[in-house]
Structure 1
Amino acid sequence: MITIYDIAEKANVSAMTVSRVINNSGRISEATRKRVRKVMEELNYIPNSMARGLVLQKTKLLSLLITDITNPFYTTIARGAEDTAKRSGYKLLFGNSDEDYVKEKDYVEMILSTRVDGVLFAPTGDASLEQLRQLQKHGIPFVILDREVPGIETDVVLGDSKDGARKLVEHLIGLGHRRIALVNGSPDVSTARLRYTGYREAHLLGGLPLDESLVVSLNYREFQDEASLQALLSLPSPPTAIFAANNLLAVGIIGALRQRGLSVPEDVSVVCFDDFGPAETVNPFLTVASQPAYQFGALGMQLLIERIENGPGSENRKIMLPSELLIRSSTRTWDR
């Protein structure tokens, strides 16, 4: 079945332009109007109500694609996004990529076939560029959450990963730690690069040498790399503290340390990025750089709705949300 996307691609215009030609609305040059109508005739395209609904924002259906629904950070983002969408009369479809580019690609294909009005998108990493360009190609508005993707200009809501990482490491340095490991996400994810930068800056500002043997790059899923932790602990001068780049990594690291008979913080201090939501208030333990996850979702969804309702042409907006250092009982003074 021929769609307005097919028309748009062959006529080298956006899907919204095709819709405006179909509905005889908007400001379009006569040359463009004629070109689109010619392609419609060539492809024997018959306009339908769904196509009109898509670009005129009549479906009132949005998509939220996140990277890991098991992470409380993203669960809370979803809550903020859904609440905001509902207040504006939109319904929300959820997708979870599991930090997997292939799964993310499948979801984007589903989004294109579902014909949503817009997408709130937390990318798996730099490789998400291809998927975001697909959304651009088909004229679907989107806003990026949490991670930037080089090569894409759009509205984005970010946390200050560099500043939060620096605060965490400076806290450890202030407690007397001089051998601080970083268990990070993949370097093809913007937040992992920024958290490494913050880690490095804290060392430089604290007058500590940067030992790359203390830096491990994994991914943001559950910690399952026992060999990496063993390599850190087997160094001639092992770390006395570990900075986990997110909360799931921190939980896995603490479990692995305990299996080796090591206590936190008595033997090793542990800090991490992102809190654990309401559960953390029951028995607060981990020292974290907490991000306002609900605001990520709420602000991102508000930007998306504004972009949909105002149409193309508005300036791109970038919102940077600060992190908060919450000092708890997973760290202690190092005086050995």
Structure 2
Amino acid sequence: MVTIYDIAKQANVSAMTVSKVINNTGKISEKTRARIKKIMEEMNYVPNSMARSLVLQETKMLSLLIPDITNPFFTTVARGAEDAAMRLGYKLLFGNSDESLTKEKEYVDMVLSTRVDGVLFSAASDESAPHLQTLRTHRIPFVLLDRAVPGIDCDTVSGDSREGARKLVEHLIGLGHRRIAMVNGSLAVSTARERLAGYREALKLSDIPEDDSLVLEMNYKHFTDETALRRLLTMPQPPTAVFAGNNFLAVGLIRKLLEFGVRVPEEMSVVCFDDLGASVIDPFFTVVSQPAYQFGAMGIQLLIERIKGVTTPEWKKIVLPSELIVRGSSGKPSAI
């Protein structure tokens, strides 16, 4: 393995001079700097990042922890985060908690052992608070992404889930729907609570009575309650539209509706939060779309500013806007 001492000997300079070239510090003539870099390339020298991190007290590595890498929203978030990290001179380690607190803790332990400079963190649930406190105890900066965690004050990048939900339900109301169901994620996740609040707000603004029997709670990753859906469809006054709390719930919902012989949107309109991404050739869902790429990119920017101490002491709260995109999954109730 080639060391800085081998480079120094070949270049006829001190090891300290080679170190300054590697770390881009100190006053060295451009001619000497270029000569040393050329020798490093010829000898295939790879800097020892661990030793460098011990000297500089930084690893130039960040971690991104998200709850579901298979969800197109988080896939795009990850791409935005990686692009921003690379552009700013950092490497990015990925972790996927699968909405599991146990798996999330394992990744936090990994973060501690690898000595990353900071973490962009999208929490599995409200119960993620101890994991974030662990990072804080070890003085590892973090930025919360998409989901808030009660009791944790920090920099955040999020969307306006409440407003986006209200837009979707108001769209359905504008089409003539009055019996609107909601299939939501776990209320232990902040975005699920906010989307439920937006759903209720839209109903209230249109003087439509709330009916708790129309609201189903399950996991964001899967549509899991077939029995509850059957109950909705066999009510004396069944819903004519459903608002799904995220894209995965919407896909599972429509599959079940088709199994039950319910046509979308002819017999049931379906709208959802978050788009399905570029993989969908023929977009179908009426959605509220969030700028997922910007979530990741701005989260990394904010994290690096916190690491370098160039931001203000006050926590920054960035809220990104959403966009209502009307497509084929929503239409007027069949009776209209």
Shorter-normalised TM range: 0.7 to 0.9
Name the structure 2 match of 1:175: 175
Residues 247 and 275 in structure 1, CA contact (< 8 A), matched pair in contact too: yes
Distance 1:176 1:57, change over 3 A: farther
Residues 65 and 120 in structure 1, CA contact (< 8 A), matched pair in contact too: yes
Name the structure 2 match of 1:262: 262
Distance 1:54 1:241, change over 3 A: farther
CA–CA separation in structure 1 for the residues paired with 2:57 and 2:249: 40
Residues 54 and 117 in structure 1, CA contact (< 8 A), matched pair in contact too: no
Residues 285 and 329 in structure 2, CA contact (< 8 A), matched pair in contact too: yes
After superposition, residues 111-260 of structure 1 pair within 5 angstroms as 111-260=111-260
Residues 57 and 308 in structure 1, CA contact (< 8 A), matched pair in contact too: no
CA–CA separation in structure 2 for the residues paired with 1:164 and 1:268: 21
CA–CA separation in structure 2 for the residues paired with 1:74 and 1:284: 19
CA–CA separation in structure 1 for the residues paired with 2:170 and 2:149: 28
User: CA shift at 1:57, angstroms?
Assistant: 4.5
CA–CA separation in structure 1 for the residues paired with 2:52 and 2:288: 46
**Secondary structure of the structure 1 residue equivalent to 2:95:** strand
* Alpha-carbon displacement from aligned partner over 1:9-35 (angstroms, at most 9, x marks no partner): xxxxxxxxxxxxxxxxxxxxxxxxxxx
Name the structure 2 match of 1:315: 314
Greater Cα offset, 245-254 or 216-225: 216-225
CA–CA separation in structure 1 for the residues paired with 2:114 and 2:299: 21
* Alpha-carbon displacement from aligned partner over 1:47-66 (angstroms, at most 9, x marks no partner): xx969936954210110000
Name the structure 2 match of 1:295: 294
User: CA shift at 1:334, angstroms?
Assistant: 1.3
**Secondary structure of the structure 1 residue equivalent to 2:182:** strand
Residues 275 and 290 in structure 1, CA contact (< 8 A), matched pair in contact too: yes
**Secondary structure of the structure 2 residue equivalent to 1:278:** coil
- Counterpart AA for 1:125: S
* Alpha-carbon displacement from aligned partner over 1:240-260 (angstroms, at most 9, x marks no partner): 100000000000000000001
Residues 266 and 334 in structure 2, CA contact (< 8 A), matched pair in contact too: no
**Secondary structure of the structure 1 residue equivalent to 2:157:** strand
CA–CA separation in structure 2 for the residues paired with 1:273 and 1:334: 21
Name the structure 1 match of 2:75: 75
- Counterpart AA for 1:259: E
User: CA shift at 1:173, angstroms?
Assistant: 0.6
CA–CA separation in structure 1 for the residues paired with 2:275 and 2:67: 17
How many residue pairs get matched? 287
Runs of 4+ in 1 over 2 A off after TM superposition: 49-58, 311-314
TM-score by length of 2: 0.83
Residues 143 and 156 in structure 2, CA contact (< 8 A), matched pair in contact too: yes
Between the two proteins, what is the percent identity of the paired residues?
Answer: 64
- Quick check: 1:327 aligned with 2:319? no
**Secondary structure of the structure 1 residue equivalent to 2:210:** coil
**Secondary structure of the structure 1 residue equivalent to 2:279:** helix
**Secondary structure of the structure 2 residue equivalent to 1:330:** coil
User: CA shift at 1:114, angstroms?
Assistant: 1.2
